[in-house]
Chains A and B, each alone.
Chain A
Amino acid sequence: MSKPKLALYWAASCGGCEISVLEVNEAILDVADFFDIVFWPVGLDFKYHHVEAMADGEVLLCMFNGAIRNEEQQHIAKLLRRKCQVMVAHGACACWGGIPALGNVANREEIFDRAYFTAPSVDNAEKTLPQTSTRVAEGELKLPVFFDTVYALDQVVPVEYYMPGCPPVVDQTVAVVQTVMSGDLPPAGSVVGAGSKTVCEECPREKHDEKKVKRFRRLHLCDDLDPTKCLLEQGVVCAGPATRSGCGGKCVSVNMPCRGCYGPAAGVTDQGTKLIAALAAVIDSTDPDEVQQIVDTIDDPLGYAYRFGMSSSSLRRVRTHG
């Protein structure tokens, strides 16, 4: 009997999820034993036409990381969706847009302008811009269309499971693949490889539920942080109260505030607005002017609120009209 097939793909991502798959170390041998890996751009030399040649539904599992930023990524997402039975949004970018989705504060024109003209390191006297189609002596060269907006995987194709993290922690990756190998699958739509509460539940720091913040502080400007106490109560923006558990509190254990890569907790639709509410809750003032002053010490609420979730946030992107 032939082995079940596994496909892995990366779209708009940094490659960290791919590396985290390799980080399972020798367990990758069990995976390769159980599965026939048929597509994995970072690890194996298969081409798109190999995938196109497969029968629909022939691949059991597709682990898709990265957001959808251009036409090629959308095309491959749709192709793999046809070929696979179980589609897993692997990592924060596939789940909700991730870091690339912070590009939703701008549009294509603004991004190209910055990347090809105005960034200080750019030397582009001829004002060359990438074109979707260019004529050269050898024929026509084409590039995929770059979208104005970055999309999460499930905004392009249906997704069975969501596996959060930037990247997902290794034990969770192993557990998810083992679950698929066991054949005992959770209901479609489930978040897999994570907890259901918040990072605060896993955080070893002492919390007092007291309002005591008179100003918010950037981490690199703090030299007096108490390593045993809640970061938020010390005025450092920590996404723990708005973020799903499952990572084991790795960042907060080493004096690093949670950045929110495990996404919204169970039952929460918008991680960012939950963080906004949590930040407001530690402000120590009942005077509107003073509250405003304290809020003004946070320069970029959007960046904190939607560092990993802009595509799936309630408003998805900044306004481009009016």
Chain B
Amino acid sequence: MAQFEPRIVAFLCRWCSYTGADLAGTSRLKYPPNVLPIRVMCSGRVDPTFVVNAFRKGADGVLICGCHPGDCHYNEGNYNMMRRFPLVRKLLAQFGVEPERVRLEWVSASEGDRYAEVVAEFTDEIRKLGPLEWAPMMAPPPVQTAESVVTAK
């Protein structure tokens, strides 16, 4: 069987982390191709809805990267994300999703190497956890048959 290739959605803040990811690319650093980057204005823009939707739609892991604390372009957007993060993890754990499938990291615009490291490490971790496969949870109710339909008379 082919090795499981995780699908990871990464929400990258436009000011620091996306630029950091860009730097990793222009510096020709090698890192796993498993990440689908989505540029957001700020890590504080990452609504917990985005995270659960990513899992619902087939992601095996979600990475959120923002500016280091104190460096937010909007002063405290990254703090907003930091406060949400443990709640989101706790909620996911209740749904049976390993909390390790969502990760929050601070990556500055100059930290291309750090971005590459984070992606490599996270991909490895998700690969160990295996696929999430949420689609069966969203299946419609069992099809009714003449046999299965029972009604009161």
What bracket does the count of chain B residues touching chain A fall in? 35 or more
- A 271-303 binary contact with B (CB < 8 Å = 1; else 0): 011101101110101101001100100101110
A102 CB → nearest B CB, Å = 11
Q: Considering the complex, which residues of chain B in the window 128-153 have a beta carbon less than 8 Å from any beta carbon of chain A? A: 130-134, 136-138, 140-142, 144, 148-153
Most central of A274, A279, A315, A318 by chain B CB within 10 Å: A315
Q: Are A274 and B49 in contact (CB under 8 A)?
A: yes
| Min CB–CB distance B77 → chain A (angstroms) | 12
Q: Given the complex, which residues of B lie within 8 Å of A276, measured CB to CB?
A: 48, 84, 87-88, 91
Q: Contact at B94–A280, with CB atoms within 8 Å?
A: no
| A75→B144 contact, CB < 8 A | yes
A34 to B83, CA, bound (A): 54
Instruction: For residue B12, give the distance in angstroms from its CB to the closest CB of chain A.
Output: 19
Contact check: which of A143, A147, A273 meets B47 at CB < 8 Å? Answer: A273
* Complex interface residues of chain A between 251 and 279 (CB less than 8 A to chain B): 269-270, 272-274, 276-277, 279
Interface of chain A residues 63 through 79 with chain B (CB within 8 A): 68, 71-72, 74-76, 78
Q: Name the one of A47, A76, A145, A314 contacting B153, with C-beta atoms under 8 angstroms.
A: A47
A316 within 8 A of B: yes
Q: Is the CB of B150 within 8 A of A314?
A: no
B83 lies within 8 A of A301 (CB)? no
Q: Which residues on the A side are within 8 Å of B94 (C-beta)?
A: 105, 300-302, 318
- Mask of B76-95 contacts with A, CB within 8 angstroms, 1/0: 10011011111110110011
**C-alpha gap A49/B152 in the complex (Å):** 10
Question: For the complex, is A155 an interface residue (Cβ under 8 Å from B)?
Answer: yes
> Does the CB pair A295–B150 fall under 8 Å?
no
How far apart are the CA atoms of A74 and B142 in the complex, in Å? 10
Neighbouring B residues of A220 by C-beta, 8 Å: none
Q: Which residues of A contact B153 (CB under 8 A)?
A: 47-49
CB of A10 closer than 8 Å to a CB of B = no
Task: Tell me which residues across on chain B come within 8 A of A75, comparing CB atoms.
Answer: 144, 149, 151
Nearest CB in chain A to that of B149: its residue: A75
Are B96 and A319 in contact, with the CB atoms below 8 A?
A: yes
A143-B150, A270-B52 in contact; A316/B138 too (CB < 8 A)? yes
Contact B56–A314 (Cβ < 8 Å): yes
Give complex CA distance A300, B142 in Å: 30
Residues of B within 8 Å of A298, CB to CB, are 87, 90
Chain B CB within 8 A of A135 CB: no
Contact A319 B137 (CB under 8 A): yes
Contact of B133 among A281, A285, A321 (CB under 8 A): A321
**How long is the Cα–Cα vector from A300 to B87 in the complex, in angstroms?**
10
Given A315-B55, A315-B95, A145–B87 Cβ distance below 8 Å?
Answer: no
| 26 interchain pairs, CB-CB under 8 A | A48-B152, A71-B149, A71-B150, A72-B149, A72-B151, A132-B148, A144-B151, A145-B142, A269-B49, A273-B49, A273-B51, A276-B48, A276-B91, A277-B84, A279-B87, A280-B84, A280-B87, A291-B85, A291-B86, A295-B86, A301-B87, A301-B94, A302-B95, A315-B52, A315-B56, A315-B134
List 17 additional contacts besides A151-B140, A280-B87, A281-B80; criterion CB under 8 Å: A71-B142, A72-B151, A75-B151, A76-B151, A78-B144, A144-B148, A147-B141, A269-B49, A272-B91, A273-B51, A277-B47, A280-B83, A286-B69, A313-B52, A315-B97, A319-B97, A322-B130
Which 7 pairs from chain A and chain B are nearest by CB?
A: A319-B96, A273-B48, A302-B94, A280-B84, A314-B52, A280-B83, A273-B49
